[in-house]
Amino acid sequence: MVIPVHDVNPARRTPWVTYALILANVLVFLFTPGTAGSVTGEGSLAQLCHLEAFLDQYAAVPQELLHHRMPALVPTGDTGVGPQGPGCVVGPPDYDKSPELSVLTAMFLHGGWLHLLGNMLFLWIFGNNVEDRLGHLPYLLFYGVCGYAATYGFALLDSESGAPLIGASGAIAGVLGAYLVLYPKARVWVLVPFLIFLPLRLPAWIVLGFWFGLQAVYSSGGAVSQAGTVAYAAHVFGFVAGMLIAWPLRRGTPPPPEPRGLLFGRRARPGW
């Protein structure tokens, strides 16, 4: 696992759309019931019940996307005591939900601070150059298309699942796929945990190729990780969608600047 912190690839114009997406994700998270006060998304029973009710209404659910089969009972947000002990009260839904629109709203929902900050870090580092290459409005459309491709791709693998899908990971995976196609030789500073966090400057094709390889390996054992919380297959679909969309633009993309200075404690050679 490597943690990217900065890429050596300056953009020509201000990435307003990337900034707006980050701001929107943060604001939505702060107003999501039961999440802003938690690092991981875990909290009290009341918080979890409020969060379950909120996600059931606004998150994407595979069986709803593919079958338009809405559940007869959903969490109401209240707590109660049943035969199995304290839990969340369920009842008939008191709202109308568009499964297609839920894909869009789900892209701005996150389950905890770690989930949010991890996604926004990758979007901050790699989104500006992709936006610079595509243009502001095409980049916004690209982001949405990748998010939809990731969500529906995942749903096709697990069409009977009633578990909610949330997070910007699928759309951001598309940004990473486009970056890999457009700037494979750009240098990225990363932190590698090896006893301590070791800073290294590596080509983007290594950093993003390694990231994609991990997602593919994790998703090969099932649509969701063993922990049941990360939709790795959605990352794979989003990444591939981003690569395919960006592929026709690769020839006209200006190359990133050649790095100068020290690398791994010695002078970097040309082409590294």
Give the domain CATH number at 218. 1.20.1540.10
Over residues 42-83, the pLDDT tens digits come to: 566 777 777 788 888 899 999 989 988 777 777 776 666 666
Q: How many angstroms separate the CA atoms of 94 and 137, rounded?
A: 36
> How much is the pTM?
0.86
| Domain membership of residue 118 as a residue range | 3-33+98-267
Nearest to residue 117, comparing CAs of 163, 172, 165? 172
How long, in residues, is the chain? 272
Tell me if 19 is assigned to some domain: yes
Query: How far does Cα 197 stand from its chain's mean position?
Result: 24
Tell me if 25 is assigned to some domain: yes
Tell me if 84 is assigned to some domain: no
Q: What are phi and psi of 235, to 5 degrees?
A: -65, -40
Q: Residue 151: which residues within 8 A CB-CB, separation 6 or more?
A: 60, 65, 103, 106, 107, 165, 170, 234
Q: Residue 131: which residues within 8 A CB-CB, separation 6 or more?
A: 11, 15, 17, 18, 139
What are the strands, taking DSSP E only, across the chain?
3-8, 74-82, 85-91, 187-194, 196-203, 262-263, 266-267
Q: How many angstroms separate the CA atoms of 172 and 117, rounded?
A: 13
Per-residue pLDDT of the chain (272 residues; tens, 9 = 90+): 789 999 999 999 999 999 999 999 999 999 888 665 555 455 667 777 777 888 888 999 999 899 887 777 777 766 666 665 666 777 777 778 899 999 999 999 998 888 999 999 999 999 999 999 999 999 999 999 999 999 999 999 988 888 889 999 999 999 999 999 999 999 999 998 877 888 999 999 999 999 999 999 988 874 443 334 678 999 999 999 999 999 999 888 888 877 665 454 344 454 44
Q: What are phi and psi of 264, to 5 degrees?
A: 55, 30
Nearest to residue 211, comparing CAs of 178, 187, 191, 239? 239
Q: How many angstroms separate the CA atoms of 13 and 5, rounded?
A: 20
Cβ–Cβ under 8 Å, residues 88 and 48: yes
Q: What is the pLDDT of residue 211?
A: 95
Q: What is the pLDDT of residue 43?
A: 60
Q: How many angstroms separate the CA atoms of 200 and 253, rounded?
A: 25
Tell me if 128 is assigned to some domain: yes
- Domain count for the chain: 1
Cβ–Cβ under 8 Å, residues 160 and 188: no
